[in-house]
A and B are shown apart, each in its own frame.
Chain A
Amino acid sequence: MCLGIPGKVIEVRDDAALLMGKVDFGGVRKEVCLAYTPEVRLGDYVIVHVGFAISRVDEEEALKTLEILEQMGGLVTTELETMGKGMDRPAVLSDDGSPATFGSASASAGAATSAAGGPS
């Protein structure tokens, strides 16, 4: 019961003076009470506990955090690379075994996709 699930608001309505709506959790749609997050709009993400939205997920903040993490990842990789051998574990490898670069994981994935499946 205590596990909150993020989902996308796809309907907002007034139901007998209670702000209700529908939230899509990756395809599963549920009735959710929106009374505590009256600021939500269609398309917003909320965290839902036992049928109640308790918090709006700030997409900008989410992306910002990821960016910081990725930057930190970059620093760590650089440091690992400069440290060279002697680490008790190999520097991070990508799926094919080659050293991965942080911060550009999605870019390189995109590049790989276009190289493999793009029009040539």
Chain B
Amino acid sequence: MKYLDEYRDPVLARAILDEIHRITTRPWTLMEVCGGQTHTIVKQGIDEALPQGVRMIHGPGCPVCVTPLEQIDKALAIAARPDVIFTSYGDMLRVPGTSTDLLALKARGADVRIVYSPLDALKIAVDNPDREVVFFAVGFETTAPANAMAVAEAARRGIDNFSVLVSHVLVPPAMTALLDSPANQVQGFLAAGHVCAVMGWTEYEPIASTYHVPIVVTGFEPLDLLEGILMAIRQLEEGRAEVENQYVRAVKREGTPLAQRQIMEVFEIVDRTWRGVGPIPDSGYRLRAEYARFDAEQRFDVGTIHTLEHPACIAGAILTGAKVPLDCTAYGTLCTPQKPLGAPMVSSEGTCAAFYSAARGLDARKVSLR
């Protein structure tokens, strides 16, 4: 893309950063919701270049991280069945369940396959009519259009050996849950650009006005993030609390209506539990009754699931922004991307993995053997 490089222009980045420094008169705490944004912010050191007192809290927007342990354990139970081909986005494979993960299960002989798109999983089902093909339908509003289409296509084409294990979560209820928390520190949000590309931003307007909190729909390039931060701080400094759109090249107020229609045809809104955060009302999707025959949880009896998190992991505090990875005793020692204890260390969108790949604070944790 000819203008993609320009969104990484260091000279412009410097200029926006200087403008942020110029207009900032007070300490402010902002949260970027999306893990993809966290990754850019930490990798580029944007958070460390902001004026003193301006703090970025890294939000819960990592689908891998917030998929509840119980769903991971169900996935493991289903994937272990000899009649099942279990398909998943690649980043779910190393997420630790209570006793193992999908990758280890695959190494022990389970038929676990990585797919790039849920339509690929559907194709595997067509090619293997005598096997049950299950797709792990996780994610935020960004993957929901794809996952909904896979189910709708299975129904339309009568692909009955296909089913989905659904663990879908939604951004706006998580934002209100954070704002409702007595421990909340967030004064302004950078909303996830691609979630809004699908859903638009009308859902955020009542949040901005009710909680008097600026929300800036923001993209993923370094310049996008800097401009989003600038717009949020400008609102805070001027006492405004509106929804603004930084990511105009990809997001419209109404979002992508065809995708929304497909999502709502296949899914309905339910309460969901977020790993590390807990239950949040109306914060996810499940299949509608008309599509319940494609629900893997109904198709396979997984028995009783007893979950147990690793005691050293503080993923919940990380996901809500109450703590940073450097506050964790296991970070970089017991817990690394090669051997993650908790989900935020698994995915590249996880805060712990973002810190680790930028080598934040790792020097201090190295053990000298001499």
Partner among A18, A36, A50 whose Cβ is within 8 Å of the Cβ of B143: A50
Give min CB distance, A2 to chain B, whole Å: 6
Given A57-B1, A58-B249, A77-B15: 14 more A-B contacts, CB < 8 Å:
A2-B63, A3-B220, A8-B1, A31-B117, A38-B258, A47-B250, A52-B145, A52-B149, A52-B259, A55-B197, A55-B250, A72-B19, A73-B15, A92-B18
Partner among B6, B142, B145, B251 whose Cβ is within 8 Å of the Cβ of A66: B6
B22 touches A1 (CB 8 A): no
Per-residue CB contact flags for chain A residues 92-117 toward chain B (1 = under 8 Å, else 0) read 10100000101001100000000000
CA distance A115 to B366 in the complex (A): 50
Partner among A47, A64, A72, A94 whose Cβ is within 8 Å of the Cβ of B16: A72
Partner among A2, A30, A55, A73 whose Cβ is within 8 Å of the Cβ of B62: A2
A3 touches B36 (CB 8 A): yes
Known interface pairs A50-B116, A51-B146, A62-B3; A2-B194 also in contact (CB < 8 Å):
yes
Which residues of the other chain, A, contact B223 by a CB distance below 8 angstroms? 69
A49 closest partner in B (C-beta): B142
Known interface pairs A51-B120, A92-B11; A36-B258 also in contact (CB < 8 Å):
yes
Question: CB of B48 within 8 A of chain A?
Answer: no
A47 touches B117 (CB 8 A): no
Question: CB of B35 within 8 A of chain A?
Answer: yes
Which residues of the other chain, B, contact A54 by a CB distance below 8 angstroms? 142, 145, 194, 197-198, 256, 259
Known interface pairs A57-B249, A61-B249, A69-B12; A51-B119 also in contact (CB < 8 Å):
yes
What's the count of A-B pairs with C-beta under 8 Å? Answer: 150
CA distance A18 to B157 in the complex (A): 11
Question: CB of B153 within 8 A of chain A?
Answer: yes
Which residues of the other chain, A, contact B18 by a CB distance below 8 angstroms? 76, 80, 92
| B→A interface (CB under 8 Å) | 1, 3-4, 6-7, 9, 11-12, 14-16, 18-19, 22, 34-36, 61-64, 89-92, 116-120, 138-140, 142-143, 145-146, 149, 153, 157, 194, 197-198, 220, 223, 227, 248-251, 256, 258-259, 262, 348-349
Known interface pairs A2-B35, A4-B197; A50-B19 also in contact (CB < 8 Å):
no
Report 10 cross-chain contacts, Cβ distance below 8 Å, ordered by A residue.
Answer: A1-B89, A3-B349, A38-B258, A50-B89, A52-B259, A55-B198, A61-B249, A72-B15, A76-B16, A100-B11
A8 closest partner in B (C-beta): B1
B140 touches A102 (CB 8 A): no
Please report which residues of chain A, range 42-99, place their CB below 8 angstroms from some CB of chain B when the two chains form the complex: 45, 47, 49-52, 54-55, 57-59, 61-66, 69-70, 72-73, 76-77, 79-80, 92, 94
| A→B interface (CB under 8 Å) | 1-4, 6-8, 16, 18, 26, 30-31, 33, 35-38, 45, 47, 49-52, 54-55, 57-59, 61-66, 69-70, 72-73, 76-77, 79-80, 92, 94, 100, 102, 105-106
Which residues of the other chain, B, contact A50 by a CB distance below 8 angstroms? 89, 116-118, 139, 142-143, 146
A77 closest partner in B (C-beta): B15
Which residues of the other chain, A, contact B64 by a CB distance below 8 angstroms? 1
Please indicate which of the listed interface residues B35, B61, B120, B194 has the most CB atoms of chain A within 10 Å of its own CB.
B194
B15 touches A76 (CB 8 A): yes
Give min CB distance, A105 to chain B, whole Å: 5
